[in-house]
Amino acid sequence: YSPEDGYYKTSPFDPVTVPNVPLHEYVWRDFKKWERRTAAVCVITDRQYTFAQMRDACAAFAVRLQTKFNLHKPDVLAICLPNLPEYPIATLGAIEAGLTVTTVNPVYTPDEIARQLTFSGAKFLVGTVSGFATLSQASKLVGRQIPIAVVRTSAEEVLPEGAIDFSELTSTQNVRYDDLKVPKEASAEDMVFLPFSSGTTGLPKGVMLSHNNISSNCEQVQASLPMDLLGPQNTLPGVLPFFHIYGLTVVMLSKLGQGCRLATMPCFKPDDFMRSLDKYQGSILNLVPPIALFMINHPKLSQETAPHLKVVMSGAAPIGQHDVERFLNKFPNTVFKQGYGMTEASPVVLLTPEGNKVYASTGVLPASTEAKIVPLDGNDVKGVGPRTTGELCVRGPQVMAGYLNNDEANQVTFYPGNWLRSGDVAFYDEDGLFYITDRMKELIKVKGFQVPPAELEAVLRDHPKILEAAVFGIPHELNGEAPRAIVVLRPGEKASAEEISAYVAERVAHYKKLEGGVIFVDEVPKNPTGKILRRELKEKFSD
């Protein structure tokens, strides 16, 4: 295959070299240049760390994980934190100790957390004081004792009984740095992160991302953006959750590596968000489409109340051209960019190029990334030329090695030649701009978060009155999509839609609720092998 034949598309940028060092070393590569500046500050408490303090706290945490808890490669540490200035310390400290980090959504229920702890085999947990009870419950469900360290966000917060004080593990007093052991046979190909994604089908799976995957993606993004826009003078409002690959790679690690300051907020509250833009002078803002809509509609927000804002980057779900235009009318001094990516690609796969005005496009391939469009009829995996739609497939140093312990999923997720299938429908034009036109995979995206239908279907099937269920997404004005269920009751049973919705709401994180409603049917449309016909569902039951 060659790009000249139109089989696949290459990046317009010069290739990057893969850093080939452990991820913490990559992030701290230049930290001496800005060690006295603030690395992260909490917009609620003003609690902050300089780069030097953060670097030292990470090393101290690494030493204690190894010496006090005997954690070493290939052990997994789970982080279940909202966005706090301590998030990067927990992450980079664990990585320095040679561990793999799995990031857990802090709004998960004990069941959801327990599932991730079991799949990942996590041996240590980092959480908050307020989240401790949930984490203990999750640990009980897993059936083994998992030590839980908690971050105290103020002096008033008392350490719960049975919890370990995170600040004692990161304290630089009496640390013997020489005790830190670099794992034998450590390689930048080792797994550094294990986030979860449902990919093109089924339940969430552990995505094996290596040191090189993440540092390559940081390099790829930086090589594709003008440096005068970035650099250490910038502040990023840390509003996108760091547990999700978008917040983790693009906001937290990439920008700390460039000496930028993170102004973190534990959850999205309008006042905190606005403070990150005025008091804390947010200048680069990564967001998801619902936050862009919030900014368009909020009467108190304008370019005047966000005077430092100059770059806005939207990703994780589609945004309409009309909304981008409305945004730019209200924030005329900003550059609006889009990104497209997926957890399986660390995540960035497409980025808006300089001077772009085509807001319907999610951009061009960043450095060292290749893509092809494979016709949907599926028999021919060769790529097609411009303006023909098909499944977007990508290749590059940011693409995962595969899902953990799941050969079956890995088989269907890659085409020969290491081409990762995205499950998204796209085309590119003569300028190399890509357009995402549809999603063929079953995944539902609510506010940019993954909602795997299979997960909700499993919850529904556990309901004593339910025989069968199928879940799909319907359009939602603010959140992008909302999950809707069709349900077949067991013979003779009666139930209300409210009852079913409430049952699900009790068992899942709030954004997975059946906001799109419940419809009772006699039969779920399936193909002869028993696979749910989701296209048909969407067509039949979306009104």
Judged on CB neighbours under 10 Å (0-12, 13-18, 19+), 304 is: exposed
Nearer to ligand AYL, 284 or 317 (CB): 317
Min dist CB 247 to ligand AYL, Å, is: 9
Nearer to ligand AYL, 348 or 459 (CB): 348
Picking from 336, 370, 369, 368, the residue whose alpha carbon sits closest to that of residue 353 is: 336
Among 450, 472, 500, 516, binds ligand AYL (CB under 6 A): 450
User: DSSP strand E in 115-187: where?
Assistant: 124-128, 148-151, 164-165
Among 123, 445, 447, 512, binds ligand AYL (CB under 6 A): 445
Size of the site for ligand AYL (CB under 6 A): 25
Nearer to ligand AYL, 283 or 422 (CB): 422
Nearer to ligand AYL, 9 or 463 (CB): 9
Q: Could you tell me what percentage of the chain is helix, strand and coil, using 3-state DSSP and rounding each to the nearest 5?
A: 30, 25, 45
Cβ 403 vs Cβ 206: under 8 Å? yes
Contact between 353 and ligand AYL (CB under 6 A)? no
Residues 6 or more apart whose Cβ sits within 8 Å of residue 460: 466, 469, 471, 485, 487, 500, 504
Contact between 93 and ligand AYL (CB under 6 A)? no
Among 238, 315, 453, 516, binds ligand AYL (CB under 6 A): 315
Could you say which residues in the range 213-252 bind ligand AYL, by CB under 6 A?
245-246, 250
Min dist CB 319 to ligand AYL, Å, is: 7
How far is residue 471's CA from residue 485's CA, in Å, rounded to a whole number? 4
Residue 65 backbone dihedrals phi, psi, to 5 degrees = -60, -40
CB atoms within 10 A of CB 230: 20
Min dist CB 445 to ligand AYL, Å, is: 6
Residues 6 or more apart whose Cβ sits within 8 Å of residue 121: 76
Contact between 371 and ligand AYL (CB under 6 A)? no
Contact between 369 and ligand AYL (CB under 6 A)? no
Could you say which residues in the range 318-337 bind ligand AYL, by CB under 6 A?
318
Min dist CB 422 to ligand AYL, Å, is: 5
Contact between 338 and ligand AYL (CB under 6 A)? yes
Tokens describing residue 246: 């978008």
> Buried b vs exposed e over 78-117: b needs ≥16 C-beta within 10 Å?
bbbbbbbbbbbbbbbbbbbbbbbbbbbbbbbbbebbbbbb
Among 91, 212, 422, 479, binds ligand AYL (CB under 6 A): 422
Min dist CB 209 to ligand AYL, Å, is: 11
Contact between 116 and ligand AYL (CB under 6 A)? no
**Using CB under 6 A as the criterion, which residues of the chain lie in contact with ligand AYL when the complex forms?**
197, 245-246, 250, 313, 315-318, 338-343, 347-348, 362, 422-424, 436, 439, 445, 450
